[in-house]
Amino acid sequence: MALSRRQFVGAAAGTAALAATGTATAQEEPDYGGWFDDVSNYDGTVDKRGQDTVTITVGAQGNNGAFAFDPAAVMVSPGTEVVWEWTGEGGGHNVVSDGDGPLDSGSAVSEAGTTYSHTFESEGMFKYVCIPHKALGMKGAVVVRPGSGSSGDGGSGGQQQQGPPENPDYGGWFDNVSNYDGTTVDRTDADSVEISVGAQGNNGAFAFDPPAVRVTPGTEVTWTWTGEGGGHNVVSDGDGPLDSGGAVSESGTTYSHTFEEMGVYKYACVPHESLGMKGAVVVGGPLGGSGGGSGGGSEQEGSGIELSGPQWLLSGSVLLAFFSPLLFAVAMRRRQNGRPPQMGEGGELQRATGPEPVEEAKETEPAVELGHDEYDPKGTAALVAFYFVLIGLLWVFMYFVEFLGRVSIIG
């Protein structure tokens, strides 16, 4: 039974939660007080903590044109340099703090490649706007908090719900999509996810199935053509990473993309977009509640950690290694205290209350009592300590080889 790297890391997190009886906590979304109510491309706070430099695009697609900052909201660590980079689209833009803040890039400029940077030293929330297009919703925010951000590898430590919420606000994107039932299918437990192109929906074979899916960073999403409904393609809505090229109708055609950054990625089949052939991929951390599109997975209640059958087996093996010395010590103690039953008067069985009579040894040398079955608290404690040290060394070894060396030992 082979475990993938993602399954092993998930099982390790589950084992740590079971042994320490800890609970993974979700990243709390900041309260912006309605700041993003009219910002169409806001889909949650992107956690970039732990990075020395973070780039924000100025003039990204959003708010009915190139009138957006991307990402609109970002969380960074104290001491991080944030760089705003102009795309050259949407006319002149600038970056100015809302109220009395530290950001001021000067007058609006439209030249592509223009940059403005600021290093945030103190914690807090820093809202800003593009003054010429503030009324259109061209606003953003930088949240400065200590801590480390999410990792595309699954990260060490507890799994956290980060990035977009469970069911993001798609802003009417699915209003005319007949096979969208209002839920985003959770596939955060999968290394790769498949979406059918030309599935039944929208009065014909004009749908993506599932239309909305949630994955974790680093997941490969593959679109597979059914061969029905004519020519289809997969193209991002606005300035996005998806573009399968011209429409094709051949069954078995595939197109794949690996999502590394958190966010909401909307896409459509260009020839049939007006019919409702649209979809979205939500990239974020694992959800704390139940869900999961694959089914059959086991779940650690209250910890937000989902474990499959192989992962439970691995977790149980590690826990057994921890507690087997204690179970052995208890068994030996019970054996030491136990006495075999004896036949008493009247033929009734009774348990001996004292030491059994021992015949005098005939040997000339004094008898030596062997203490193999005696309970030795110090020896047992030393054995338990040895097991814990061994497990600790194994974890240190895994950390340096698997995470620092980037060499997979799991398969």
The pLDDT averaged over each successive group of 10 residues in the chain (411 residues) is 49 47 52 92 91 93 93 93 95 94 94 94 94 96 83 42 75 93 90 94 95 93 95 92 94 94 92 95 73 40 48 67 72 66 57 56 57 64 80 73 50 45
- In DSSP notation, 61-105 reads SBTTTB-EEESSEEEE-TTEEEEEEE-S-SS-B--EESSS-S-B-
Give the per-residue pLDDT at 300. Answer: 39
Residues 144 and 194 in one domain: no
Residue 337 lies in a domain: no
Residues 139 and 210 in one domain: no
Residue 351 lies in a domain: no
Give the per-residue pLDDT at 148. Answer: 72
Return d(Cα 212, Cα 182) in angstroms, integer.
9
Give the per-residue pLDDT at 68. Answer: 95
Residue 408 lies in a domain: no
Which of residues 135, 151, 167 is at a domain's end? 151
Give the per-residue pLDDT at 324. Answer: 72
Residues 133 and 81 in one domain: yes
Residue 356 lies in a domain: no
List the CATH number of the domain containing 260: 2.60.40.420
Which of residues 151, 169, 193 is at a domain's end? 151
Q: What is the mean pLDDT of the chain?
A: 78
Residues 190 and 281 in one domain: yes
Residues 204 and 252 in one domain: yes
Residues 62 and 127 in one domain: yes
Residues 145 and 198 in one domain: no
Residues 202 and 129 in one domain: no
Give the per-residue pLDDT at 160. Answer: 47
Residue 88 lies in a domain: yes
Give the per-residue pLDDT at 347. Answer: 56
Residue 396 lies in a domain: no
Residues 147 and 195 in one domain: no
Give the per-residue pLDDT at 223. Answer: 96
Task: Quote the domain boundaries for residue 279.
Answer: 185-289
Known binding residues are 232, 269, 272, 277
Return d(Cα 162, Cα 352) in angstroms, integer.
65
Residues 61 and 114 in one domain: yes
Give the per-residue pLDDT at 214. Answer: 93
Residues 276 and 193 in one domain: yes
Known binding residues for Cu cation are 232, 269, 272, 277
Q: Give me the number of domains the chain comprises.
A: 2
Which of residues 109, 127, 151 is at a domain's end? 151
> Which own/partner contact pairs does 112-116 have at CB distance under 8 Å and 24+ positions apart?
112/86, 112/87, 112/88, 113/85, 113/86, 113/88, 114/58, 114/85, 114/86, 115/83, 115/84, 115/85, 115/86, 116/83, 116/84
Residues 53 and 133 in one domain: yes
Give the per-residue pLDDT at 73. Answer: 95
Number of H helices, E strands in the chain: 3, 22
Residue 175 lies in a domain: no
Laid out side by side, the sheet with 185-186 consists of: 185-186, 212-215, 278-283, 263-268, 235-236
Residue 23 lies in a domain: no
